[in-house]
Amino acid sequence: MTRILLLLVVALLCHSFTTQAQVISIESARALPAGSVVTVRGIVTNGPELGKIRYLQDATAGIAAYPGSGSMPDFESSVSLGDSIEVSGTTVNFQGLLEITPITSYTVISSGNAVPSPQPVAITDLSNALEGKLVRMPCVTFDASGGSFSSSGTYPFTDTNGNTAEIYLRSNHPLLGLPIPENPVQLVAIVSDFFGFQLLPRFDTDFQEAPCYYFSSNPDQSNIQNNGFTLQWSTNLVSTFKLRYGASPEPNLEVILPGSGVSSSYTFSNLEPGRIYWAQVEATHNGEKIYSPVMPFATRSLSTGQIKVYFNHPINESVAGGLIPDGQSATATVNETIARINSAQQTIDVAMYNNSRNDITDALVAAVNRGVQVRYVAAEETENYALQQQINFPVVYGNTYALMHNKFMIIDADLSAQAWLMGGSMNWTNVNIQNDYNNTLFIQDQSIARGYRIEFEEMWGSSSATPDLANSRFGSEKRNNTPHRYIIGGIPVESWFSPSDQTTSHITEALETADSEILFGLLTFTKDDQADAIVDRFLDGTSVRGLIENTGDVGSEFGYLTGYGMQVQRHVFPGTMHHKYGIIDANDPASEPVLVTGSHNWTFTAETENDENTLVIHDANLALLYKAEFEQRWQENITSVPVISQTPVLSLAPNPVSDVLYLKHEENGTIRVMDVWGRTLVEQYDAAAGVTRLEARTLPAGNYFVLFQTDHGYTRLPFQKM
């Protein structure tokens, strides 16, 4: 009997231990992949005003619990605001919102608890790290102020910096029928997600009318030198200021500024070159304290600042003012890429959308073999054939719900004379390198290499050689946490990442500076902001020309721009216009020419979902080189397709065709079947000389042509499908 009792006690103790061990922090639950079974505890921050769903948070994070099909009954009627509860269930991503459903068990531990204090945040702070938490946004104004919350749906609001977000009210919400606040309010709400962040207020007391005290401008950087820089900021009320700074995201050095006012500044003069420093301003007015975000800023480096420009197709040198790019062929671009990898002494970090190039990948493998640390981030939902071979470096595949669309590489960020950044529009694939139109930049600068490394390590999840997937962040989870301004070889350069940095607004700002000319070459263009800025400049007398590859995309700005009579064309010349560049006032040095380039298409998804990188470079020479690239593409697009000199035997039969076409050719080449709109329907790369069979039976009846491309040029042969 004693033995039986002992076994029972041990079993109960084990059961108690197991049950306790199952409870994890909400932050840990959120870090697990969707589909994980979790048990969490937290304080409930809403009641039935938001329907069946309950949001709960602990000291680490917040999460939603939804009693969907298969859930334990009576959850919504048993769980109230202020309850401390324990919930078990499966995590599910529903239209962007991570929630626990079905709820397999729940326990109300206690009731009437104090609800967690709302966390002060700005609109620009919104990220998945805040999802499910109660937050407070100071001084926001509703766009429809003075009206009423007349129906369920979204209601946009704006902060003092012009940033916008929206609240969502469900049917039967207690706020329906009440007036929309006319004056600025401090908004208290729960951060939710439905294809984008939404704020969920609960009661009318979540709109707190009060005098607003805020930073009218957050710390901004100027006068960037090797040993320091100047920060300036302002508040809406007279304040005294304290500045904290340091070489980590938790600044620990303080400067108390004398006097008071609505604006102030401070110039650092004792910093190290090529380093990143973090700073935060504390402002005080009548005893009330507010804080700016902790923001990173870079000093100027001791690197050469050399910027090397490569295009994978020839440019029109006659309009480049004597300037010549460092390369204007696919071979030159690949050779420089491999040369940079081969030159690495310590580290290589790569963030590349897709990769089918064994030669580049082999160079990375060789770098590891000679002792270089290689870390690699790739897109989860694309083909990376070259990474399927035997590689000796770790790879993180990221952004489950959108694209990890970056194309950058960082070499030796901790070596001033060796640090390089590679950026631009080119993926490491045969098609993107050989056929499509792309640009690549190589920048020798330690400061920007270290700035990009912060972005890389946010996706990598750690600063070590080993990734930490629990801390890895992609897409809307990422934060605005990198420096944005650099001086590289005397050239002002801005760096922006998506979707954390509101990149669209900065591209738009660059376009708005145009005085004489805007040129752009884009794969796709669906974002109203840039289109409206171009229209405004055009109506004010600025010349506009543009090439867009995908004019049939939903929301394309092609028709909008051409409707004003602008010279904007659909790119129909063979090869995809894969660039993402804008060129402002390249022929007008007095107007401070600007080049915008990177991985960021001018689209909504690039702005809000994808991982993207963009450079805004204030330099006349670079703008002129890119103008020469544009002029060559423009000329090709409006003239007839060039024919191969001394054309070899090339024939197409039968014509008309009903099922199969046969193309006879004496050279190796790329073959495309295209419609009259220039859209590629069938494509075959590196077809060996001889006879190539082309499937045509699935084509609708109509007129088409076969385009045959070699290193010498192009030939186009028309045919008819019966």
The continuous run of DSSP H or E covering 361 comes out as: helix 358-369
Report d(CA 40, CA 21) in Å as an integer: 11
Q: What is the pLDDT of residues 664-703, one digit of tens each?
A: 888 888 888 877 555 678 878 778 888 888 888 888 888 7
Minimal CA–CA distance to 393: which of 414, 372, 422?
A: 372
Determine the residue type at 229.
F
The continuous run of DSSP H or E covering 309 comes out as: strand 307-311
Q: What is the CATH number that goes with domain 491-638?
A: 3.30.870.10
| Fold of the domain spanning 307-476 | Endonuclease; Chain A (3.30.870)
Which class for 160: exposed (0-12), middle (13-18), buried (19 or more C-beta within 10 A)? middle
Minimal CA–CA distance to 568: which of 615, 521, 501, 608?
A: 521
Letter string b/e over residues 385-424, b meaning 16 or more CB atoms within 10 A of that residue's CB: ebbeeebebebbbbbebbbbbbbbbbbbbebbebbbbbbb
DSSP label at residue 437: B
> In this structure, which CATH number among 3.40.50.720, 3.40.50.2300, 2.40.50.140, 2.70.98.40 belongs to the domain 119-208?
2.40.50.140
The sign of the torsion formed by the CA atoms of 588, 592, 595, 596 equals: negative
Q: Hey, where are the domains in the chain? A: 22-110, 119-208, 221-294, 307-476, 491-638, 650-721
Q: Provide the CB-side half-sphere exposure for 333 (13 A, CA).
A: 28
Report d(CA 694, CA 704) in Å as an integer: 13
Say if residue 118 is preceded by a cis peptide, omega within 30 of 0.
no
Which class for 641: exposed (0-12), middle (13-18), buried (19 or more C-beta within 10 A)? middle
> Could you tell me if 384 and 430 are in contact, meaning their C-beta atoms sit under 8 angstroms apart?
no
Which class for 184: exposed (0-12), middle (13-18), buried (19 or more C-beta within 10 A)? buried
Residues of the chain with pLDDT under 70: 1-21, 639-649, 676-679, 710-714
Residue 337 tokens, joined: 């890429």
Q: Provide the CB-side half-sphere exposure for 587 (13 A, CA).
A: 12
| Interstrand relation of 373-379 and 395-398 (parallel, antiparallel or unpaired) | parallel
> Per 3-state DSSP, what percentage of the chain is helix, strand, and coil (rounded to 5)?
20, 40, 40
SS3 for 61?
coil
> In this structure, which CATH number among 3.40.50.2000, 3.40.50.300, 2.30.110.10, 2.60.40.10 belongs to the domain 221-294?
2.60.40.10
State the first-to-last Cα distance of the chain, in angstroms, to the nearest integer. Answer: 91
Query: ∠ CA 90-93-94 to the nearest 5 degrees?
Result: 115
> Could you tell me if 461 and 394 are in contact, meaning their C-beta atoms sit under 8 angstroms apart?
no
Query: ∠ CA 30-32-38 to the nearest 5 degrees?
Result: 80
DSSP output for 252-305: -EEEEPPS-EEEEEEE--SPPTT-EEEEEEEEEETTEEEEPPPEEEEPPPSS--
Report d(CA 170, CA 395) in Å as an integer: 42
Other C-beta atoms within 10 Å of 483: how many?
23
Which class for 6: exposed (0-12), middle (13-18), buried (19 or more C-beta within 10 A)? exposed
| Fold of the domain spanning 650-721 | Immunoglobulin-like (2.60.40)
Predicted local confidence at residue 712, as pLDDT: 55
* Identical fold between 307-476 and 491-638: yes
Query: ∠ CA 361-367-368 to the nearest 5 degrees?
Result: 95
SS3 for 720?
strand
The sign of the torsion formed by the CA atoms of 581, 402, 50, 133 equals: negative
> Could you tell me if 56 and 79 are in contact, meaning their C-beta atoms sit under 8 angstroms apart?
no
What are the E-state strand segments in 34-132? 37-44, 54-57, 62-65, 84-94, 97-110, 119-120
Other C-beta atoms within 10 Å of 556: how many?
18
Torsion angle of alpha carbons 354, 356, 362, 365, nearest 10°? 30
> In this structure, which CATH number among 2.40.50.200, 1.10.3720.10, 2.40.37.20, 3.90.1150.10 belongs to the domain 22-110?
2.40.50.200
